[in-house]
Structure 1
């Protein structure tokens, strides 16, 4: 399937014949793998990023003790991995995740995937952006006024979210909930709590999708047998650049504007940016790319 080869049209098998590289670990890739297969694509895995527990467990414990005691007005959950980290801490205390969060605390998140996971865990989501599903999008809809906010996040999280909320009058307490590392993580430190979701997915295997090494993925790319690669974060874009660049005819699909911006800064052409950070949003972005190329050919 060359760059301008036809991909079958139609909603159900729109990506027939496309080989799509997913840069997630097997236990986090299942929903996207299933969506790609339903659309007719062949998903392959190149795990580049993994997650470990926060090095500073004391600070995280103190913040969660304060949360449970009602010291915060808001809890902001910026990723599914944050949910995983919090669920692991709840399990250590022999409680469910929802028991960490008092009814008085409002919960905000960024995207529909995080919202669905939280709701599947029995947690009410009070605020989430509908248009721009990103840190900047949440800042846009954040109410003005003095409130106290707990923001557990990755060690490499940018300042956009915390600074934006603070600019609207909030006092934000950030705490590192997990660390982003090269795959695979140290087995003794790896964040591995299983998550519920509305469609029943939990941590597990990605439905048997082949897992490639960076060298094998590079060989597939060089032979023209990879048609797209999906990056879910700026750190994934950086790792894709380091492991695979130049991408030749392989289309780079970004999840989120920050990922697209990082790819562009690295010199990776961005074929499309998913409008929603969900499997359906990613498949839609791929459909748009291939449909456009089909029309040009």
Structure 2
């Protein structure tokens, strides 16, 4: 493992960290992937299937999709019922909103036109651009997703049905229920185990750790019960930054946008800031 360069740990599976790793490597950083969470279909797949059938019959005016995992999970559930998500959207004449350009691109690749993509890839950004209305909106989300999007849409007059489309579990998930996630083409960063990370820290290396979701924050916190670890926390966005603060970790930097370039800039800022303030090597948890 490189110790002469800034070391970065991205809390994602290597197949889903290719673009981030490429941006970090281009900035001269040694980058590794450490997956802590995985994604599975919900225990009650029938509930999702029922809402997709209703969507195909025209029961919903909007479908709001908040992640690539949701796109994949909905596609898997539709396929398990012998249909295609794009056909259901088309037959139901439903408008589609995507939180973020990556999610919008995945929907487009699946043959699903997207009518609304906020510039700010967040629930708050979507709510700012979402019209008022009194029809029905389907919001398929993860089990751990906060309730702010559903509540915000309801405040705008909509009748909102939130359904659990997938669940976040400790890595690795059950092979038969796993939602594979969005695999990126290109060279994958090396996989790092928790034991290797602890050995790196014991050798005096203080890595930047890129937290990619609140669920990763929780899993990382649970693993730290084995002992303290010196690291510079970097959040992929405001929601994850809030989750870090809940655990007593002030983010060294938060990405202004969740793109690989935005994350690389935040990591560079974290290293610069960390050197200036000589952070406590034993974050409270």
Equivalents in 2 of 1:41, 1:99: separation in Å? 44
What residue in structure 1 maps to residue 118 of structure 2? 129
Moved more, 56-65 or 120-129: 120-129
Pick from 105, 120, 123 the counterpart of residue 94 of structure 2. Answer: 105
Equivalents in 1 of 2:85, 2:28: separation in Å? 36
Report the TM-score, using the length of structure 1 for normalisation.
0.83
CA RMSD of aligned residues (A): 2.5
Offset at 1:146?
1.1
1:219–1:154 distance in 2 versus 1, CA, 3 Å? same
Equivalents in 2 of 1:296, 1:225: separation in Å? 16
1:119–1:288 distance in 2 versus 1, CA, 3 Å? farther
Equivalents in 2 of 1:283, 1:150: separation in Å? 34
Deviations 1:161-181 (A, max 9, x none): 101100110001111111110
Whether the 8 Å contact between 1:54 and 1:177 is mirrored in structure 2 is yes
What residue in structure 1 maps to residue 282 of structure 2? none
What residue in structure 2 maps to residue 286 of structure 1? 267
What residue in structure 1 maps to residue 53 of structure 2? 65
Does the alignment pair 1:221 with 2:201?
A: yes
Offset at 1:221?
2.5
Offset at 1:203?
5.7
> Aligned pairs, how many?
273
1:75–1:203 distance in 2 versus 1, CA, 3 Å? same
Whether the 8 Å contact between 1:70 and 1:102 is mirrored in structure 2 is no
1:252–1:192 distance in 2 versus 1, CA, 3 Å? same
Any stretches of 5+ residues in structure 2 without a counterpart? 279-285
Equivalents in 1 of 2:259, 2:82: separation in Å? 31
Does the alignment pair 1:52 with 2:40?
A: yes
What residue in structure 2 maps to residue 13 of structure 1? none
What residue in structure 1 maps to residue 177 of structure 2? 189
> 1:172-211, aligned counterparts within 5 Å?
172-192=160-180, 195=182, 202=183, 207-211=187-191
Offset at 1:296?
8.3
Whether the 8 Å contact between 1:241 and 1:268 is mirrored in structure 2 is no
Does the alignment pair 1:275 with 2:256?
A: yes
Any stretches of 5+ residues in structure 1 without a counterpart? 6-15, 196-201
Equivalents in 2 of 1:157, 1:293: separation in Å? 30
1:212–1:87 distance in 2 versus 1, CA, 3 Å? same
Secondary structure of 1:209's match? Answer: coil
